[in-house]
Amino acid sequence: MNEVVYKYCDQRGIDILRHRELKITPPNQFNDPFEFTPRVTCSNPHGEVKRLLRDKNTIKEIYLEAKADGAFVGNFRDFRRRFKKARPALTEPLIAANPTVSAETQNEFQNNVSAELGVLCMSSRRDSIVMWGHYCDKHRGLVVRFDKSFAVFQSGKGLRRVNYVHERIIYDSSWNRGGKEAGDFADQLIFSKNYEWSYEEELRQLFKLEGLRNRPLADGAAGYFLPIPHSAIVSVMLGAKSSKQLEEAVNMTLRDRQFAHVIVKRAALHDTKFSLV
Q: For 122-136, how does the pLDDT look when each residue is reduced to its tens digit (9 = 90+)?
A: 999 999 999 999 999
For the chain, give the percent of residues with pLDDT over 90.
85
Q: Are residues 123 and 213 in the same domain?
A: yes
Q: Are residues 149 and 259 in the same domain?
A: yes
Q: From the centroid of its chain, how far is CA 219? A: 19
pLDDT per residue as tens digits for the range 224-272: 999 999 999 999 999 999 999 999 999 999 999 999 999 999 999 999 9
Per the domain annotation, does 275 fall within a domain? no
pLDDT per residue as tens digits for the range 26-57: 999 999 999 999 999 999 999 988 888 998 99
- Yes or no: say if 139 and 133 are a contact pair by the CB < 8 Å rule: yes
**pTM, rounded to two decimals:** 0.88
Distance CA 2, CA 7 (A): 17
Task: Count Cα neighbours of 65 within 13 Å in the Cβ-side half-sphere.
Answer: 6
From 69, 96, 111, the end of a domain falls on 111
3-class secondary structure per residue, 208-272? ECCCCEEEECCCCCEEEEEECCHHHEEEEEECCCCCHHHHHHHHHHCCCHHHCCCEEEECCECCC
Q: Quick check: 277 pLDDT over 70?
A: yes
Per the domain annotation, does 273 fall within a domain? no
The pLDDT of residue 176 is: 82
The pLDDT of residue 1 is: 58
The pLDDT of residue 2 is: 75
Q: What is the mean pLDDT of residues 140-153?
A: 97
Q: Are residues 69 and 151 in the same domain?
A: no
Q: Are residues 122 and 99 in the same domain?
A: no
Q: How many structural domains does the chain have?
A: 2
Domain of 19 in residue numbering reads as: 4-26+116-266
Q: Are residues 106 and 187 in the same domain?
A: no
Q: Are residues 81 and 176 in the same domain?
A: no
The pLDDT of residue 27 is: 97
Q: From the centroid of its chain, how far is CA 53? A: 32
Q: Are residues 247 and 124 in the same domain?
A: yes
Q: Are residues 224 and 190 in the same domain?
A: yes
Per the domain annotation, does 276 fall within a domain? no
Q: Are residues 90 and 154 in the same domain?
A: no
Q: Are residues 155 and 262 in the same domain?
A: yes
From 111, 144, 159, the end of a domain falls on 111
Q: Are residues 125 and 246 in the same domain?
A: yes
pLDDT per residue as tens digits for the range 210-227: 999 999 998 888 999 999
Q: What is the mean pLDDT of residues 141-147?
A: 98
